[in-house]
Amino acid sequence: MTDRGLGITVTEHLLREQRETPYATGAFTQLLNELIVAAKIIHRQVSKAGLVDIFGSTGSENVYGEEIQKLDEFANRTIIRRVIHTGHIAAIASEEDADIIEVPHQYPTGPYILLIDPLDGSSNIDVNANIGTIFSIRRRIKESGPVTLDEILRKGSEQIAAGYFIYGSSTMLVYTTGKGVHGFTLNPALGEFLLSHRNIKIPKRGKIYSVNEGNYYYWSEPIRRYVDSLKEKDPAKGKPYTSRYIGTLVGDFHRNLLKGGIFMYPADTKDPKKPRGKLRLLFEAAPLAMIVEQAGGAASDGHRRILDIEPETLHDRVPLFIGSSEDVSELERFLNDGGSS
Ligand code: AHM
Ligand code: MG
């Protein structure tokens, strides 16, 4: 780490970005700071998940009919509690809640809407693998009054910031406000996130593919052909690729962001419940699409740029192909013309 800027705290970094933004009021910086505090609390809880009775399942289901683990609820509640009263937001939408969460009348409201996947990869909690928190911030359309759904059901290109916390071998924050992607690593002794990865750029082509290959026979023919092609022995094309899949979107995405490669969650052609894949457009695909584009990569549903897709409902799902730009383009060629070009 020879760069003298490395090691500055995330707060200092945010304040520098704020100073470079004309008319910034500081509300946005304070909102991100509250999220950071929430993430530190979640980090602490995650790191002792095996020790306390927060481990395991609540027995209840979320809006998708999936079992909610206790730590999911904890993360969801922690983030909501930290930001709801700050006066910086007008509403929150969470992957764990069916409807928009309004700011209670006793608190002031602000110009931002926060979207969260509070604990991504929750099936990995009890095996001690990476989990994460994904967030995205949008500016509301109306000046005042209750937030309506049409203010949230908007293209990902309208996000003003997106990021994630990854609770792994270290806890990290990776975020963008549209001025590049920066990574901060939590120093547990100081309790501070320090700049460790300035201006992250994803390699144009990678050597890793990440997909749940157990679903192979549920994919469309072109997707199967594309994945088969990655295993061909062709050193000139850098093939075969290496297969890496954690089953936590944040973890798989983060590795590929740093090393290059493609993450895929295709549509399921045989399961009527998953015709549009598994991952959620507003809470997972769009925030990571903003990050990957800022890092020079690409995100697609196979045909369209993820950031151009207008959601129809809060919990819309979408097929997701995200990572190095040349890998995503190659996948699109397979879907659109059989990969011949
Ligand atoms: P969630 O844990 O927030 O519900 O997210 C869904 C997770 C993603 O993190 C991951 O990419 C995917 O589900 C894995 O799905 P599968 O087990 O079908 O491979
Ligand atoms: Mg998730």
Point out the ligand 1 atom lying closest to the alpha carbon of residue 247. Answer: 14
- Mean pLDDT (the chain) is 91
Do 10-197 and 208-338 agree at the fold level? Answer: no
Task: Please give the pLDDT value at position 18.
Answer: 84
Order of strands, sheet of 131-139, starting from the edge strand that comes earlier in the sequence:
101-102, 89-94, 112-120, 131-139, 159-167, 171-176, 181-187, 192-197
Does the C-beta of 212 come closer than 6 Å to ligand 1?
Answer: yes
b/e code 211-225 from CB counts within 10 Å (16+ = b): beeebeebbbebbee
**Who's near 75: CB < 8 A, 6+ residues apart?**
42, 45, 118, 119, 133
Does the C-beta of 210 come closer than 6 Å to ligand 1?
Answer: no
Q: Which of 115, 123, 165, 276 to mutate to test the pocket of ligand 1 (most atoms within 8 A of CB)?
A: 123
Task: Please give the pLDDT value at position 20.
Answer: 84
Does the C-beta of 248 come closer than 6 Å to ligand 1?
Answer: yes
Does the C-beta of 177 come closer than 6 Å to ligand 1?
Answer: no
Ligand 1 centre distance from Cα of residue 26 (Å): 35
Does the C-beta of 249 come closer than 6 Å to ligand 1?
Answer: yes
Higher pLDDT, 124 or 337: 124
Does the C-beta of 316 come closer than 6 Å to ligand 1?
Answer: no
Ligand 2 centre distance from Cα of residue 247 (Å): 10
Distance CA 183, CA 3 (A): 14
Task: Please give the pLDDT value at position 56.
Answer: 56
- Residue-wise pLDDT for 160-216, tens only, equals 999 999 998 899 999 999 999 999 999 999 999 999 999 999 999 999 999 999 999
Asked whether residue 274 carries a pLDDT value surpassing 70, the answer given is yes
- Residue-wise pLDDT for 57-115, tens only, equals 666 666 766 655 688 999 999 999 999 999 999 999 999 999 999 999 999 999 999 99
Per-domain boundaries in the chain? 10-197, 208-338
- For β-strands 298-300 and 320-323, DSSP reports them as antiparallel
Ligand 2 centre distance from Cα of residue 339 (Å): 30
Ligand 2 centre distance from Cα of residue 137 (Å): 17
User: In this structure, are residues 147 and 90 in contact, taking their beta carbons and an 8 Å threshold?
Assistant: yes
Percentage of residues of the chain with pLDDT beyond 90: 74
Ligand nearest to the CA of 72: 1
Query: Token pair of 229, please?
Result: 């092609």
- Residue-wise pLDDT for 216-247, tens only, equals 999 999 999 999 999 998 887 788 999 999 99
Q: Does the domain at residues 208-338 carry the CATH identifier 3.90.1150.10?
A: no
- Residue-wise pLDDT for 297-334, tens only, equals 999 999 999 999 999 999 999 999 999 999 999 999 99
Q: Place 144 in a pLDDT band, splitting at 50, 70 and 90.
A: confident
Task: Please give the pLDDT value at position 2.
Answer: 44
Tell me what the mean pLDDT of segment 9-18 comes to.
91
pTM, 2 dp: 0.93
Percentage of residues of the chain with pLDDT beyond 70: 91
**Who's near 143: CB < 8 A, 6+ residues apart?**
none
CATH fold group of domain 10-197: Fructose-1,6-Bisphosphatase; Chain A, domain 1 (3.30.540)
Distance CA 23, CA 166 (A): 32
- Residue-wise pLDDT for 207-218, tens only, equals 999 999 999 999
User: In this structure, are residues 209 and 264 in contact, taking their beta carbons and an 8 Å threshold?
Assistant: yes
By alpha-carbon position, which residue is closest to atom 7 of ligand 1?
Answer: 121
By alpha-carbon position, which residue is closest to atom 18 of ligand 1?
Answer: 212
